[in-house]
């Protein structure tokens, strides 16, 4: 049939259905049979996935807070609290250490 039968890649079966020719020629799984290469997801991978979802859901920039701080700096009302900054950095470091284990 013109050499198209063995072409690798997806095959369009309709408007929304796509399948791969390579998967059609391979072995098919049997219900109850253990796959040769099972996938294991570690607890760390699960935590990372949860963290990634939380990061993606968070707004990139809190525009209101940025405007408040900008106004305070321009008006000379912005106060730097070194102890508060240090405390938050230490807390972040501790959270990162806990997440590693």
Answer whether residue 34 shows pLDDT above 50.
Answer: yes
What's residue 3's pLDDT?
Answer: 46
Cα–Cα distances in angstroms (integers) from residue 4 to residues 21, 31, 100, in the given order: 11, 32, 51
- Residue 77 included in any domain: yes
Total structural domains within the chain: 1
Answer whether residue 57 shows pLDDT above 80.
Answer: yes
Q: Exposed, middle or buried by CB within 10 Å (0-12, 13-18, 19+), for 58? A: exposed
- Residue 74 included in any domain: yes
Q: pLDDT band at residue 32, thresholds of 50, 70 and 90?
A: low
Pairing label, strands 10-12, 18-20: antiparallel
- Residue 4 included in any domain: no
- Residue 68 included in any domain: yes
- Residue 62 DSSP one-character state: -
Q: In 3D, which of 36, 12, 18, 40 has the Cα closest to residue 26? A: 36
Region 71-84: mean pLDDT is 95
% of the chain with per-residue pLDDT over 90: 35
- Give residue 58's domain range: 43-100
Answer whether residue 37 shows pLDDT above 80.
Answer: no
């Amino acid at each position: 049939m013109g050499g198209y039968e063995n072409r690798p890649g997806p095959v369009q079966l309709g408007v929304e259905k796509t399948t791969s020719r390579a998967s059609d020629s391979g072995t098919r799984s049997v219900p109850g049979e253990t796959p040769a290469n099972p996938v294991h997801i570690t607890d760390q991978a699960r935590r990372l996935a949860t963290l990634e979802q939380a990061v993606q859901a968070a707004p990139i920039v809190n525009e209101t807070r940025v405007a408040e701080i900008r106004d305070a700096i321009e008006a000379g009302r912005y106060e730097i609290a070194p102890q508060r900054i240090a405390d938050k950095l230490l807390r972040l470091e501790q959270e990162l250490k806990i997440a590693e284990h």
